[in-house]
Each structure stands twice: as structure tokens, then as C-alpha cells.
Structure 1
Amino acid sequence: MAVNYDKGSSGELLRGVKAQLISILSSQADFVLQHADSRSLVTPQGYRQIKSCRIPDEKMRDLLDHIIERGPKAAQGLLELLKDQELQETFPKLNFIKSMKRTRKQKKTSEMHEVKQLMSVARAIGQAWREVAIMALEIPSVRLEQIVADNPNCQVNQVFVALRYWKNIQGNKATATYLHSLLCQKDLALSQDVFNFLLENK
């Protein structure tokens, strides 16, 4: 059964660069396997199965899949192994692995900023939030009823959840600038000034 990883997690990062790692590491697949085994990143049965594979690319693919499927601890262990000085010297092209942690931190910071923005919007919309959700964000009324039922005691939470729903539906289109343009439509009669923070740079 496949392991579900959160965005930005070690397993998700490894999946994203798996093809690149196979290309880099397959030239010395047995060397990598021995190092992974020495750190207990593979099970005894998994080690025997991977060891028996005679095609380097497939051996490396099976090793990566095995470790990723073992879960977050093993996946993080593999990332640490790939940053190890001996492997970095053996495979100079692995240097990009060192920057992945910084990228993950930047992504986490960006996500936190987005959450804060949406919470600020939720506080600013006010009592007319359902009208805004339907007219500007085009959220179905049935969905709004469910949101209210799931968050009965706090209007701000209701609005925040509705905004998160909108963001998930819109995907990459759901930028702060786009949200600002929707909220500042004249038909909504909302004060534009209270949403100007959406136009500010991070």
C-alpha cells in the first residue's frame, strides 16, 4: 500500500527527483545499496530482492521505491545519506540535494504567509460573507451550508474555510492579486482599502 506524504515532505521530495537520482546513482547502484543498508534504510527482505537485480537502473529504481514506501523516517534517512560527504564526492551531480531543504523551508514560509492572508481576509469580510462567497468566489450554496455546519461557532472560521475551498478549486489561479480583484467588485459594496494588504509583496 502506497504511503501518502504531505507536500514538501522528504518522501514527496524524493519522488519529485527520482528519475534524476536514478540517472546519477545507477552507475554505482551496489555502492549506494550498501550504504543504505548500513543505515538500516532497507529491510533484510528488500535488500535481498534489490541485490538480486542485475540491471543498474532497475536496481536503483527498486531501492528508491522501497525506501520511499517504508515511510517518512526512511525517506528522511535517504536524504541525509545523499548529503553525506562520501556520496557527494562520489556523485558530484548530487550537489542539488543540499539545496532541497532550503527550498522546502521557503515553501513552508510561503504557505504560512498565505494562511495568514486568508485569515486576515476572513476577518475583514464581515457579515456579508455568504453573499461574497456566492457572488464573487462562486462557491455553491450547498457547500457553504456544509461549511457552516462543520464550523458552527465561529464566523471567521467559516469564512476562512470557504476561502481555502476557493483556493483549492482555483489552483494556481488563486493569487492574492486575483482574490483582491474579486473582493473589490463594485457590486459587493465592500471597502476596498481593507483588502489592499493583498497587493503587498511578501
Structure 2
Amino acid sequence: MAEKPTGEIQLLRSLKIKLISILSADADYVLQCADSHFLLSRRGYQQVKAASVSSEKVRDLLDHVIERGPEAAQGLLELLKDNEMQNTFPLLAFLKDTQLPAGKETAVKRKETTESEDSPPPKKICQNSPDLVTERQLMLVARTIGRSWKEIGRLALSVPSVKLEQIEEDCPNNHVERVFAMLRYWCACMRENATAAHLHSLLSQGDWALSSESIDFLLKKS
């Protein structure tokens, strides 16, 4: 007999039609956010990205996350409840009050049985907080960086050349997407130091400095 799916997976399946309708408004943004939270495999990311229709892209993303199991499903649900995502898609507000259906076991409960209560929670990268740079800020910065993106990556952000080449290969036809991927890589490497102010400082000095008008929003309090 097949195992009963966990509550997270049941919930995503039951909400697929509704989530496709809401998230199709900016499917590429959702994809990049999901990828930055490591919810997709590299192969899965490429498959989802290849979809040319927004609704199909969201559908494939949901299917891929569900196939990866309850932890990925839980991660996506948490992402969709994040303040930044809720501000981008106000219709997601209903998720705040949505309860998990009764499944065999939830990813949260399973983690509680394997981790000590005193263990610190894992660090989350680029989450919505007073200090860390947000996904939306990264996307806005990506739109301001032109052909010198590799130079900025090497000199300002200390991104290895091999990583830049990999990003260019992964995103051959979308300049903003490849710059966004570079910024996400910097964010992941810097972890708790990936603040908006730090990024502003790195991008506002040296021969590669961006205009203050294009990045000063990083210094504004949300």
C-alpha cells in the first residue's frame, strides 16, 4: 500500500490550481526565489525555466518541489508566507491562516524528532529582515548592472571566474537573470553579512561603481 503523503505535500497538491493562478503573474520571480532557497535541483531548475508559458512554469515548479519530498514542500510553503513574497503577491495572504491537512507525518515534526530542542535554527539566506538584502532588492540591482557584470562580479563581489562562466552558461539568453544569479551567489557566500548596506558599499566604489541613483534604495529602511 502506498504511503499517505505528508501534510505539506497534500496542501501543495490541493492548492495547485489556486497557486498557479496567483504566481503566474511573475513566474520568473517565483522561480528565482525558489532556486535561491535551494528548493530545486539544478536539472529541475533548467526544466522549469525552459517552460515558455508562465502558468506552465509555475505548474512545473510545483510538481518538481512536490516530487522532491516533504522538506522541499515545507520550504516552498514557508517561502510563500514570507513577507517579501506576500507583498509581491497579495493574494497569497490566505496562506497565513491555512492549516496543514492530517498527513502521515509533517517535515516539521520529523525534524523535531531528529534535532535537539536546544539546537539553533539553520541560517536562512537572503530572508526578509531589517538587515539582510531581500530577493526584490537583488532583482532591482540586477536590472541596473550592464555588460560589465563579470568585472563587477570579480572585483566588487569576489565571485570566482569559474562561477561566472557557469552562470553565463546556465543563463545564456537573459542578462538580468544571470546578474541576479551572480548576486544570489554572493548572498549565499556572505550569509549573515549579505546586508543591503554592505552590497551598496561594494557597488559604489572603484572603477566599477554604479550610479548612486540606481542603488541608493539599498540604504532606505523598509
TM-score, structure 2 as length reference: 0.44
Greater relative contact order, per chain length (Cα 8 Å cut-off, separation 6+):
2
**Structure with more helix by fraction:** 1
Rg larger for: 1
